[in-house]
């Protein structure tokens, strides 16, 4: 049974939380005074009747600085408890809250239905973390999905798709998505997300981070949309010090910590790419609407099929789709030998969003490219997966 604890002295907010729980979510709600935020986690939990809660809410009346200080300790000592902060949101507050391990930052006036959905997700996350907390081995029984975004050729928008996919998954499950840039020489994830990372994959695969998954999390860069990123090395020369074994170990670490691991690979089939495919649960294959790109992907499928390295789940994306390109979706499918699952039409908004460092799915302009990218995200949404599988290989069309 889920249990909720809220730290607040604002009765209106407490009443709103009780309404969200009543008749919808199993469990009871216990309220603690604002001064409880100054306690250490063990002392605070001693005041909670009925055992450890699933969700701890820092409500109005609690200083965000105090909440984040306590949350950072909870995140280490009790990572299975989902933490929620009610406060006026600012970009700096969001980043600080995510670094402290707070799952969601909400407004005190949040709509009741939104609050119910948020608390349900928090309970689900707490249950999943609790199941995993007793497993000490690197290869956890319950692992996140490893999604390899791939193309044999460059220039087909692979990084654009990868960044938008990560942003979209972050809306489904905030703070449970990590985007790994494995284009080790010329990766552009940091540019595509307008990030200035303090650390890169180079530091993550050496030293303490390689030994402890909790330490590794400190080397990730937080994005304001609710995802983490591990960016490419600062210099192409650093790629020489990252082996396929490093990549395998790193992905295994991330898969035990995150629900979704989105990997933006380098073009081609290098050793790092093949190491990723050995662990990938899903392959997102990007193809441009030109003959060299289509034939290149066909050859790629053939080689990987012989090597038995094709991931179990396939998602074929036709990017830059254009009715005037001289090819049809049917032409592409015949050459590839597989159906096209998602079509992303050519759009002025895509290059504009890339230059701004704000992915399309993070923006407000909802054109045909936005809808195509959202369709790809929906294929990974548990709430929509059953329907998506029924429609998995219906003929895609260019808008």
pLDDT 10s digits, 301-354: 999 999 999 998 999 999 999 888 888 999 999 999 999 999 999 998 888 888
Domain residue ranges of the chain, discontinuous segments joined by + = 4-133, 145-390
Name, in order, each residue with C-beta under 8 angstroms of 81's C-beta and a sequence gap of 6 or more. 52, 53, 54, 55, 56, 74, 126
- 4, 54 contact by CB (below 8 A): yes
Whether 4 shows a pLDDT value over 50: the answer reads yes
Provide the CATH topology of domain 145-390. Rossmann fold (3.40.50)
What is the predicted pLDDT for the residue at 296? Answer: 95
Q: What is the DSSP pairing of strand 313-321 with strand 104-106? A: unpaired
Tell me the per-residue pLDDT of 132-170, one tens digit each, with 9 for 90 and over: 555 434 444 468 999 999 999 999 999 999 999 999 999
Name, in order, each residue with C-beta under 8 angstroms of 323's C-beta and a sequence gap of 6 or more. 398
Q: What angle do CA 149, 151, 156 make, to 5 degrees?
A: 100
Q: Give the span between the Cα atoms of 239 and 201, in whole angstroms.
A: 9
Shared fold status for 4-133 and 145-390:
yes
Tell me the per-residue pLDDT of 174-217, one tens digit each, with 9 for 90 and over: 889 999 999 999 999 999 999 999 889 998 998 778 887 777 88
Q: Give the span between the Cα atoms of 34 and 8, in whole angstroms.
A: 5
Q: Give the span between the Cα atoms of 325 and 312, in whole angstroms.
A: 31
CATH architecture of 4-133: 3-Layer(aba) Sandwich (3.40)
Name, in order, each residue with C-beta under 8 angstroms of 221's C-beta and a sequence gap of 6 or more. 190, 195, 197, 198, 199, 228, 229, 230, 231
Tell me the per-residue pLDDT of 86-120, one tens digit each, with 9 for 90 and over: 998 887 888 788 778 887 899 988 988 889 888 88
Q: For residue 38, give both structure tokens.
A: 């100054």
pTM above 0.85, yes or no: no
Q: Give the span between the Cα atoms of 301 and 307, in whole angstroms.
A: 10
What is the predicted pLDDT for the residue at 385? Answer: 66
Q: Whole-number mean pLDDT of the chain?
A: 88
210 pairs with which residues across the strands?
none
The sign of the torsion formed by the CA atoms of 323, 328, 329, 332 equals negative
58 pairs with which residues across the strands?
7, 85
Q: Give the span between the Cα atoms of 265 and 183, in whole angstroms.
A: 5
């Amino acid at each position: 049974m889920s249990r909720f604890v809220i730290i607040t002295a604002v009765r209106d907010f407490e009443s709103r939380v009780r309404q969200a729980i009543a008749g919808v979510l199993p469990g009871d709600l216990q309220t603690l005074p604002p001064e409880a935020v100054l306690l250490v986690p063990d002392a605070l939990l001693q005041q909670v009747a009925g055992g450890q809660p699933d969700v701890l809410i820092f409500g109005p009346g609690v200083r965000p600085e105090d909440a984040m200080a306590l949350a950072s300790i909870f995140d280490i000592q009790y990572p299975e408890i989902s933490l929620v902060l009610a406060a006026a949101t600012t970009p700096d507050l969001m980043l600080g809250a995510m670094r402290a391990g707070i799952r969601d930052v909400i407004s005190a006036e949040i709509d009741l239905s939104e609050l119910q959905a948020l608390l349900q997700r928090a309970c689900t996350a707490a249950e999943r973390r609790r199941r995993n907390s007793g497993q000490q081995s690197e290869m956890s029984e319950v692992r996140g999905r490893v999604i390899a975004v791939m193309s044999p050729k460059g220039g087909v928008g692979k990084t654009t798709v990868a960044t938008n996919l990560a942003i979209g998954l972050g809306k489904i499950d905030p703070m449970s998505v990590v985007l790994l840039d494995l284009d080790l020489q010329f990766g552009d994830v940091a540019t595509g997300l307008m990030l200035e990372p303090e650390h890169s994959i180079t530091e993550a695969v050496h030293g303490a981070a390689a030994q402890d998954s909790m330490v590794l999390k400190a080397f990730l860069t937080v994005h304001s949309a609710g995802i983490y990123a591990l960016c490419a090395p600062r210099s192409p020369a650093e790629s020489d010090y990252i082996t396929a074994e490093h990549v395998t170990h790193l992905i295994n670490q991330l898969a035990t910590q995150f629900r979704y691991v989105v990997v933006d690979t380098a073009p081609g089939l290098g050793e790092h790419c093949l190491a990723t495919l050995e662990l990938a649960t899903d392959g997102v294959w990007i193809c441009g609407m030109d003959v060299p790109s289509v034939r290149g992907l066909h050859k790629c499928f053939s080689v990987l099929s012989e090597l038995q390295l094709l991931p179990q789940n396939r998602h074929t994306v036709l990017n830059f789709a254009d009715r005037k390109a001289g090819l049809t979706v049917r032409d592409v499918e015949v050459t590839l030998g597989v159906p096209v699952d998602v079509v992303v039409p050519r759009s002025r908004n895509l290059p504009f969003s890339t230059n701004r460092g704000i992915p399309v799915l993070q923006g407000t302009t909802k054109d045909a490219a936005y809808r195509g990218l959202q369709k790809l995200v929906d294929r990974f949404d548990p709430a929509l997966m059953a329907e998506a599988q029924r429609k998995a290989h219906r003929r895609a069309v260019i808008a």
